[in-house]
Chain A
Amino acid sequence: MLYRENGQFKTSYRADQAVFPIAQDRVAIAVLLVLAAVVVPLAAPEYLFRAILIPFLILSLAALGLNILVGYCGQISLGTGAFMAVGAYVAYNFQARIDGMPLIASLLLGGLGATVVGVLFGIPSLRIKGLYLAVATLAAQFFVDWAALRLKWVTNDSPSGSVGVAQLQLLGMPIESPVAKYLFCLGFVLVFALLAKNLVRGAVGREWMAIRDMDVAAAVIGIRPVYAKLSAFAVSSFIVGVAGALWGFIHLGTWEPAAFNIDRSFQLLFMVIIGGLGSIMGAFFGAAFIVVLPIVLDSLPYWFGIPIDTALASHLTYMIFGALIVFFLIVEPHGLARLWSIGKEKLRLWPFPH
């Protein structure tokens, strides 16, 4: 009843091609933005920022980047953690070696570094597909893990191999408090989400999707696979690299190579699959599911005052989490984003389904 588009006539191409063509969606997004940018910073406790919101935002950015590659272009990647690491270490090197380097510049340069590495490891995708490509990107993971551990200059000769940044500033304002960090990440996520949404709606995105659906047919109708695949690798690893730099700089502050190990790659791949392949919204759903759910499951016994052994709680978390993943994949293999759009379809007809 509330969610109905009757009477909303599009009189121009511009209106028809809007990101949110339905007025109710626009209102909902505006409310969400006000909530995220104004209400949450005023009301939320510190724990929520540091432990949930900031990791959620950064990982959804990374999942967004991966979704462009896996969901839109159909090139499966197990090297996401590596691209995040490249972003983080390149940004770190710029920040540490150049005095007075602006924060945003080093984060974006981190993204550029990840782009170069991403394209380099994307080259095999021109010849190999599917599982074999996954194994090739796995090489990126092991290579970067190795480089971060062994190449001294990567970690600026840190004896323990652990690096850190401190006193981050944006135009003279310190990014120290959890609220500032949260807003900083939120800004990045919003800009990149909008960019990604417009990219996948445009010509480039259509090329990616054509390659995903059938690469031979796409090549026949004049889409260059080299260009399409490598541009997907480039855009994806740029976003993932920026997310990695944010993860190191903003969330962890000090990190060791293990922060971007193979587990991180799998975690992001699960986010994309559970959230929904080929959906911007899905990246956010997936990140929320993977970041928030284990913490909630872990804290449940305390909330209800049930004394439970931490090891048991942690094992139970793994089991319930695994069971939920299996359940979701059986019930809705297209991910949470698909559930969301089914809900919206139903809501359109409600309360009079024909």
Chain B
Amino acid sequence: MKLKSLALAAAAAAAGAAALTTPAPAQAQAKEQFFPLLVYRTGPYAPNGTPWANGKLDYLKMVIARDGGIGGVKVAYEECETGYATDKGVECYERLKGKTNTFFDPQSTGITFALTDKAPGDKMPLMTLGYGLSASQDGYVFKWNFPYMGSYWTGADILIQHIGKKEGGLAKLKGKKITLVYHDSPFGKEPIPLLQERAKMHGFDLQLIPVTAPGVEQKAAWLQVRQSRPDYVLLWGWGVMNSTALKEAQATGYRATRCTACGGRAPSPTSRTSATAPRATTRSPSTRPGRASRSSRTS
């Protein structure tokens, strides 16, 4: 787990290093590279936020201790606690943006949405590692968003392809029943357009079951799942929602073996990486993710 969050942090730092060398020449001459760290170590999502924040922090500390910086440039950082709240995150962004022109990694879909409007004005790159605004893959429209390692659309697409492989081909999905149990927030709703498009393409039946944020109350959702008896359940949760979901699923007698694709959005950043890494994409139009995500974007 530690290794994988380090890998995530490594990707973040590598991306940061790339930003260091390429876009703004003024940065290269700066004596110090400042990394703003928006973290959430408090609130209902702290179980996810704390290890993620620790991983990034540990990696930066390691780079400083081992190399004394990146390519001879000193590294500085400061954490700002967002508590996963959008208004607090915007405050943190305003507080730290004066100190840096490196990049911001908001670590929250809601904060990313709010900052997407502000970033072009400040000429501030927003890097979202496997989360954020899926539509921002279109770099022609979203010039300052850099969704690395795929987006929610990529993640959902991988899940459908995985199910297709299990069934022996995407064509076999016809008539199957797939249920999405999702966190009722922009984060949880992001994959829906893609899944709907996929459902149209392959003729499977998509059922949407929202779970009110933060997701501690799910009995009704799982009773609904049991009632409709889907072939697959995609669980799109975050923080406390995932552990609750597993307990509730068990309590309502839903057999975990049928929940093949459980953990679409898994409880820790580690499995997030593993879910999205195989199809890591960049913003360049030629290497966009799966077919379905493209078709849903144009639709």
A189-221 residues with Cβ-Cβ distance < 8 A to B are none
Contact A314:B192 (CB < 8 A) given known A149-B210, A253-B114: no
The size class of the interface chain B forms with chain A is: 35 or more
Known A50-B94, A166-B117, A311-B81; judge A255-B86 contact (CB<8 A).
yes
Structural contact, A46 and B98, CB atoms closer than 8 A = yes
The answer to whether A255 touches B42, judged by C-beta atoms less than 8 angstroms apart, is: no
Q: Which residues of A contact B186 (CB under 8 A)?
A: 160-162, 256
CB 8 Å contact bits of A122-165 with B (1 = contact, 0 = none): 00000000000000000000000000010000000001111010
Which residues of A are found within 8 Å of B46, using beta-carbon distances?
311
**Do the beta carbons of B94 and A256 come within 8 Å of each other?**
no
Which of A55, A309, A313 touches B87 (beta carbons < 8 Å)? A55
- State the Cβ distance, B88 to closest chain A Cβ, in Å: 9
Question: Could you tell me if A256 and B110 are in contact, using CB atoms closer than 8 angstroms?
Answer: yes
Give the CA-CA distance A313 to B81 in the complex, in Å.
Answer: 9
Tell me the bound Cα distance from A50 to B210 in angstroms. Answer: 34
Contact B117 A311 (CB under 8 A): no
The answer on a CB contact under 8 Å between A258 and B110 is yes
Within 8 A of A (CB), among B135-172: none
Beta-carbon nearest neighbor of A49 in chain B = B94
B190 within 8 A of A: yes
Which residues of the partner chain B approach A47 to less than 8 Å between Cβ atoms? 94-95, 98
Q: Is B101 an interface residue (CB 8 A)?
A: no
Partner of A314, one of B42, B94, B189, B213: B42
CB < 8 Å: which of B78, B79, B86, B193 contacts A256? B86
Task: Give the residues in chain B near A251, CB-CB below 8 Å.
Answer: 87, 90
Q: In the complex the two chains form, what is the Cα distance from A302 to B76 in whole Å?
A: 14
In the bound complex, residues from chain A placing their C-beta under 8 Å from that of B91 are 50-51, 55, 295
Contacts of B130 on A, CB cut-off 8 Å?
Answer: none
> Which of B41, B117, B121 contacts A164, CB < 8 Å?
B117
| Cα A254 to Cα B126 with chains together (Å) | 15
B116 within 8 A of A: yes
Would you call A310 an interface residue if the criterion is a C-beta within 8 Å of the partner chain's C-beta atoms? yes
Q: How far is the CA of A254 from the CA of B193 in the complex (A)?
A: 20
Known: A162-B186, A256-B186, A311-B81. A176 touches B41 (CB 8 A): no
Is the pair B50, A311 in contact by a Cβ cutoff of 8 Å? yes
Evaluate contact between B80 and A254: CB separation under 8 angstroms: no
Closest A residue, CB atoms, query B134: A160
CB pair B94–A46 under 8 Å, yes or no, is yes
Chain B residues with Cβ under 8 A from A258's Cβ?
85-86, 110, 185, 213
Tell me the bound Cα distance from A204 to B217 in angstroms: 45
B83 x A51 contact (CB < 8 A): no
Question: Is there contact, CB below 8 Å, between A254 and B113?
Answer: yes
- Whether a CB of chain B sits under 8 angstroms from the CB of A224 is no
B190 partner, pick from A160, A295, A299, A311, beta carbons under 8 A: A160
Within 8 A of A (CB), among B165-198: 184-186, 189-190, 192-193
Q: How far is the CA of A314 from the CA of B190 in the complex (A)?
A: 30
Q: What is the distance, in angstroms, from B154's C-beta to the closest C-beta of chain A? A: 16
In the assembled complex, B61 has its CB within 8 A of some CB on chain A: no
Q: Determine if A51 and B39 form an interchain contact, defined as CB atoms under 8 angstroms apart.
A: no
**Nearest-Cβ distance from residue B64 to partner chain A, whole angstroms:** 14
B114 touches A255 (CB 8 A): yes
Does A162 contact B113, Cβ atoms closer than 8 Å?
A: yes
Asked if B74 CB lies within 8 Å of chain A CBs, one says no
Taking CB atoms, residues of chain A closer than 8 Å to B189 are 159-161
Chain A residues within CB distance 8 Å of chain B: 45-47, 50-51, 55, 149, 159-162, 164, 166, 176, 251-256, 258-259, 295, 298-299, 302, 309-311, 313-315
Which B residues lie at the A interface, using CB under 8 A?
39, 41-42, 46, 50, 78-81, 83, 85-87, 90-91, 94-95, 98, 109-110, 113-114, 116-118, 121, 184-186, 189-190, 192-193, 210, 213
Question: Please, could you name 19 A-B residue pairs with CB atoms under 8 Å apart, sorted by A?
Answer: A45-B98, A46-B98, A47-B94, A50-B91, A55-B91, A159-B193, A160-B189, A161-B186, A162-B110, A164-B117, A176-B121, A252-B90, A255-B86, A258-B85, A258-B110, A310-B81, A311-B46, A314-B81, A314-B83
